[in-house]
Structure 1
Amino acid sequence: MEENEEEEELRPTALYTVGGSDEFTFVSPDGLSGQYTGPDHDGVVLQTENPAPTNCLAYYFEVHIMNAGEKGEIAIGFSKEHIYSEGYTVRSCAYIGNSGLICSQNGDGDRTVAKASDTYTTGDLVGCGIDSVSQEFFFTKNGTIVGTIPRQFRRPVYPTIVLHSQNEAVTVNFGGQIAFSFDFEHFEESLRVKKEREIEKISMSRSISHGLVKTYLLRYGYEDSFRAFNLAASRHTVIAQENSFDEYELHQRKKLRELIMTAEIDDAIAALKDRYPQLIEGGSEAYFLLICQKIVELVRKGAIAEAKSFGNQDFKDFRDSSLLKNLFDDCSALFECETIEESGAAYLLGETQKNIVAAAVSEAILSTNPATRDQQSASLERVLRQFEATCSLYARE
């Protein structure tokens, strides 16, 4: 078994009330049915206890509209944890019954609205899913897809239902014993075939593929693996010179990779500061990733107070980047929430994140090479991004 193999993800199985008036809300003991009987201006938010899984090509759940209520304003979709209005709140997306609108907001509050091909009401079966290949949310009515919208916010996302008007009532199906009206198995298989065909279209000669492997090992500091592969490949293949990089600072990059992978982050920061001070003084993204990794390792050791103290330092220069800000927020969530599971940032504790940090540090060191050829770097990065995306679909962390 791989050291970084993760346990099977917990899947959504039941609804509970997270916003609105409990006084006028009924949720069945099994958490599969909900009803709102209060005034129209209040409403209630029902959400699952676990987020949608991430280690699959697609995820889907279905809702039976038992009663559309007085106004039929039921909203069904996905959102961040603990919201109070779906589709109109950041990091939420919903298909709304009486209007047929699909509304979504990203983390910055930018709103996107699409029109489904139909509205829905009492008796309809409404589905909501995640297409990880196209990075879209999709919605169905009575077994047919009626609309999609781009996925604009990050995981985790929770299946969420908002009941807005009096007497609205729903029953939810998370799959398993009761079949969906939508042929989800066929849909998921079509995504797999689509992805496989995209991969099969990529054609590379042996010399190019060997060159890419060599370049990857060189670029990210796998010195021992590079030398072993280079010896074996040279017996069978002549690698084109234009597809290779020099061994710039390879030994130092290897040492830093080992320090990061063994959680010796202070030593890694010290080594970076000693040999590449320009990366520290210039506030590189790699340095910020090391800072975040230090917080992660402190949390892993249970040193929550120290992690919080370190995390409260002034890192505003790094927060100009939305990507880095999101990462820092996830790190902070590790020590701000009662449990790591509640934080939605447990992924930071995996081996995959260490590899990302080590790769970024190696990239930063390579950027100090005055002989670096930008065109080759950009070409390789495109290939590596495609490789990473493929791996994320078939061997999700």
Structure 2
Amino acid sequence: MSNTVLQLPTRWSEQDRHPPLSVSADGRDLTFIGPSCVGDKDSAAARANHPIPPACGIYYYEVEILHKGSKGHISLGFSSPDVRLSRLPGWERQSWGYHADDGWSFPGHKDGNPYGPIFDTGDIIGCGVDFSQHRAFYTKNGTFLGMVFENVGKGHDLYPAVGLRHTTESVRVNFGHAPFKYAIEDHVHSQQNRVWADIQTTKINWDLLHGISKHEDMTDSRELYKPSVVEEDETKAPLRKLVLSYLAHHGYAKTAHAFQAQCERASFSRADEATDAKVEQDMDADDDQDQELRTRVDIVNAVLKGDIDTALEHTKQHFPTVLEREQGLMLFKLRCRKFVELIVEASEALKKVKQQPQSTVSQEPQQRGREPYPADVHTAAGEDVKMDGMDGEGAMDVDDPSHEARPYPSASSSTVSVSTFSTTADSVASVPKPRQASRSPSTSMRPTSPHAAAAKAALHTALQYGQTLEADYKHDVRPEIRAHLKRTFGVVAYTDPVAAGGEIADMAGQEARVRLGNELNQAILESQGKPVHPALEMLYRQSAACITQLGLLNVGSAAFADMPKEFLEG
């Protein structure tokens, strides 16, 4: 169901109109079909089907005058839902209108004021409201006529509204159905710059950040940040702490030290109370806090490089509780990643075999979008190298667990069974199973090149590790474990998982390393009693949430505080 709070007008309402007005089938045309109104008090008005959401910041629509009629008593503008439909917009409270016959504007009563030119048949009149100022504006044939009215739409719903008075008067609205005559995008951009400039020049009450400065998230930066005797500007100290805590949180140790050094050099230079040598001495201090930061950085970098063994070893040594929490969930994810890395390594080794000079690779047509494994690789010496563990077709299926699943032949002279990838009946892990071979698989491998030997060894290592991984977790019935195992073992079915695309590539590629590294980093911080997210990031998220809430509370300026554009995309 759509959020009606943010729904925009799309047509004239069939219900919210005076009977003499006829609405076209597409809801865009309004025509006066009854007898002309007599007297100043009689008229016929219609409103759009939805109110204007102030969260849009600036709202704009255009009306083409299809037929002005004999007198041109047409009023274009806005009104609340309580305004009588027998009155022109602008003649009653909570309504605003610009009239065709005299060019006057009417701010909720019949005592209007000169505003713009009259308009006639064929003219296109634009009607806009700026919720950051609660003022309206109009355009004529693409020309801006100026701001007008006060307190427009303040404290009540606001609808686009049109009023007609005489037979054959007719208008056609553009609620965004077609390009506008007026360059409204430039108008919005100009207003956005003005509002953002006001935000940037607003003085910050840093006392509000005192609670954040005492937050545990500052722990990583306390030793890095040593306030100078004289600060360039006291208001910059909290910002520096926020930046340093962010850098420390994400492991940018060198950047954090360089940033602090620059801040201290500038401060000491002004105060003339220290030297660069003193700054360097302070920056070179090796304390427990800095060592912990470097260790965490090394662990995360090891994951990003695919060196899972190093990440596991250092985590177990320095942060053992991380691997024990949640019944060893992080340990499980790291081990699954190691299996993926081994499969990717085997894939790279197979590529080198295929790329040997004068080599040919026997391949059958691809099935289900998979590139087949090479069944035979003919080396430059003309000798066959059989890749055991692959059937004659050279490809593998990944099926549900089955009692009929056949084990793969070994990648060496001994048999390496991968049927152990199958799990109990309630397991969701998939089972690699070869398709029917077109010829008998070889029971041995006669490598004649280092590449072939490396491919054999890499494949053997990966399959053996997969056996151990499946065996260690086959009795773990947690849904997240079963699902993750299934995704992990799925990479076995592809000769090049990274290039396979889709979920397989996502599982095998660098992005998966980044996600796991971030997750491990957060787990380490949490195990140390530190927040999962740095204070600067929390402030950004809180600010973004506040802006969204302000928009829903009809604060029009919130629409112009585009944080992603100003802070992330710029």
Q: TM-score, normalised by structure 1?
A: 0.51
Corresponding position: 1:123 with 2:125 = no
Alignment of 1:209-358 (within 5 A): 209-214=205-210, 228=215
2:25 equivalent to 1:40: no
Q: 1:101 to 1:390 in 2, by over 3 A?
A: closer
Query: Which residues in structure 2 correspond to 1:82-97 (within 5 Å)?
Result: 82=82, 83-84=84-85, 85=87, 86-97=89-100
- Residues in 2 aligned to 1:129 and 1:389: alpha-carbon distance in whole angstroms: 13
Q: Which moved more, 1:228-237 or 1:144-153?
A: 228-237
Query: Shift of residue 46 of structure 1?
Result: 1.4
Deviations 1:49-74 (A, max 9, x none): 10112212211000000011121010
Matched, 1:100 2:267: no
In the alignment, which residue of structure 2 is the partner of 1:25? 21
Aligned equivalent of 1:9: 6
Whichever residue aligns with residue 183 of structure 1, its letter is: A
Q: Counterpart in 2 of 1:151?
A: 150
In structure 1, C-alpha distance between the alignment counterparts of 2:23 and 2:29, rounded to whole Å? 6
The residue matched to 2:59 in structure 1 has which SS? strand
1:82-108 deviations in Å (ceiling 9; x for gaps):
532211111111111111111112xxx
Q: Is the 8 A contact 2:136 2:149 kept in 1?
A: yes
| Greater gyration radius | 2
Which amino acid in 2 is paired with 1:210?
Answer: W
The 1-side partners of 2:130 and 2:202 are apart by 22
Greater strand content:
1
Q: Does 1:65 align with 2:65?
A: yes
Change (3 A) 1:196 1:164: same
Q: Rate the CA distance shift 1:191–1:352 in 2: closer, same or farther, 3 A.
A: closer
1:147-226 → structure 2 map (5 Å cutoff): 147-152=146-151, 153-154=153-154, 155-176=156-177, 178-202=178-202, 209-214=205-210
**What secondary structure, in the 3-state scheme, does the structure 2 residue paired with 1:55 have?**
helix
1:236-267, CA deviations, whole angstroms, 9 ceiling, x for partnerless residues?
Answer: 67998xxxxxxxxxxxxxxxxxxxxxxxxxxx
Residues 149 and 232 (structure 1 numbering): CA distance in 2 closer, same or farther, change over 3 Å? Answer: farther
Change (3 A) 1:229 1:88: farther
Q: How far did 1:125 drift?
A: 0.3
CA contact (8 A) 2:62 2:174 kept: yes
Query: Structure with the greater relative contact order (CA < 8 A, sep ≥ 6): 1 or 2?
Result: 1
Aligned AA for 1:138? Answer: F
> Which whole-Å CA distance do the structure 2 matches of 1:187 and 1:157 have between them?
21
Contact kept, 8 Å, 2:103 with 2:114, in 1: the verdict is yes
Equivalent in the alignment of 1:310:
none
Indicate the percent of aligned positions where both proteins have the same amino acid: 24
How far apart are the structure 2 equivalents of 1:58 and 1:81? Answer: 20
Shift of 1:16: 2.5
Structure 1 residues 124 and 389: alpha-carbon distance in aligned structure 2, compared to 1, 3 A threshold: closer
Within 1, Cα distance between the matches of 2:36 and 2:4?
43
Q: 2:561 aligns with which of 391, 394, 397?
A: 394
Task: Output the CA distance in 2 between the equivalents of 1:21 and 1:210.
Answer: 55
- Specify whether residues 113 and 56 from structure 1 end up closer, same or farther in structure 2 by C-alpha distance, changes over 3 A only: same
- Against the structure 1 CA distance between its residues 148 and 391, is the aligned structure 2 distance closer, same or farther, given a 3 Å change threshold? closer
Root mean square deviation of aligned Cα: 3.9
Q: Deviations over 1:181-204 (max 9, x none)?
A: 111111111111111222233466
Deviations 1:297-317 (A, max 9, x none): xxxxxxxxxxxxxxxxxxxxx
Amino acid at match of 1:130: V
- Residues 77 and 210 of structure 1: CA distance in aligned 2, closer, same or farther (over 3 Å): same
Specify the code of the residue in structure 2 equivalent to 1:172. Answer: V
Give the superposition deviation at 1:158. Answer: 0.3
2: CA distance, partners of 1:148 / 1:18: 31
Distance 1:173 1:229, change over 3 A: farther
- Is residue 79–residue 160 contact of structure 1 (8 Å, CA) maintained in 2? yes
SS for the counterpart of 2:180 is coil
- Who is 2:396 aligned against? none
1:134 equivalent in alignment to 2:155: no
Quote the Cα distance in structure 1 between the aligned partners of 2:167 and 2:16: 16
Instruction: Give the corresponding residue for 1:275.
Output: none
3-state DSSP of counterpart to 2:193? helix
Q: Cα distance, 1:15 vs. partner?
A: 0.5
Q: Which residue type is aligned with residue 92 of structure 1?
A: S
Paired letter, 1:88? W
2:158 counterpart letter in structure 1: V
SS at match of 1:166: coil
- Where 1:12 maps in the other structure, the secondary structure is coil
Task: Label 1:111 to 1:45 Cα distance change in 2 as closer, same or farther (>3 A).
Answer: closer
**SS of residue paired to 1:31:** coil
Shift of 1:25: 2.7
2:172, 2:217 → 1: CA distance? 59
Deviations 1:133-179 (Å, cap 9, x if unpaired)? 33211111111122322332423100000111222100000014x11
Which runs of no fewer than 5 residues in structure 2 stay unpaired? 235-547, 564-570
**Secondary structure at 1:188's aligned position in 2?**
helix
Aligned-pair distance for 1:210?
2.6
TM-score by length of 2: 0.36
Alpha-carbon separation, structure 2, partners of 1:102 and 1:17: 27
Q: Distance in 2 between matches of 1:229 and 1:45?
A: 61
Q: Is the 8 A contact 1:210 1:233 kept in 2?
A: no
CA 1:229–1:124 in 2, change beyond 3 Å: closer, same or farther?
Answer: farther
Letter in 1 for 2:104: L
Cα distance in 2 for residues equivalent to 1:143 and 1:159: 19
Q: Tell me the CA shift for residue 114 of structure 1.
A: 3.6
- Mark the CA change 1:203 to 1:111 in structure 2 (over 3 Å): closer, same or farther: farther
